Amino acid sequence: MASNRINRINEEIQKELSSLLRTLKDPRVQGGMVTVTHVDTTSDLRYAKVFVSVLDKTQEKDVIKGLKNAAGWLRRELGAAVKLRYTPELQFVADDSIEQGAKILSMLRDPSVVKPANPANADIVLEDED
């Protein structure tokens, strides 16, 4: 039961932070495409680990520094938007799960890495591989 509540809070925090990031005026954060991929809140709601993905990996460290710099403002705005007893302290972490997913997808599409389970299907061409 409590796990379901934490999951709903995580989703709400993720949604609110995503909208707040668009209003952030820090040039380090505005320079890159920033996405909140996941939020993991502790059970006592004191801390929230925010996983952030950046499109341009060269700007990733600057974006994380900018977000850590704006953490107090984001926490205040989050507290106003989400009614909780405690507004969690935000800890920003770089997330590379999207990049890993793209790498796995490219490996799965590479016929030299993954062989078809049924040799009779080796000649089938999928629509998006034209």
Cβ neighbors of 72 (< 8 A, separation 6 or more) are none
Please write the tens of the pLDDT for every residue from 68-79: 988 899 999 988
- pTM exceeds 0.85, yes or no: no
Tokens of 67: 């977000």
State which CATH number among 3.40.640.10, 3.30.300.20, 3.30.420.10, 1.20.1440.230 fits the domain covering 2-109: 3.30.300.20
Quote the CA–CA distance of 121 and 116 in Å, as a whole number: 7
Please write the tens of the pLDDT for every residue from 4-39: 889 999 999 999 998 888 888 887 777 668 888 999
Q: Catalogue the long-range contacts made by 107-113 (C-beta closer than 8 Å, 24 or more residues apart).
A: none
Tokens of 127: 């629509």
Quote the CA–CA distance of 3 and 64 in Å, as a whole number: 28
Quote the CA–CA distance of 104 and 107 in Å, as a whole number: 5
pLDDT at residue 112 greater than cutoff 80: no
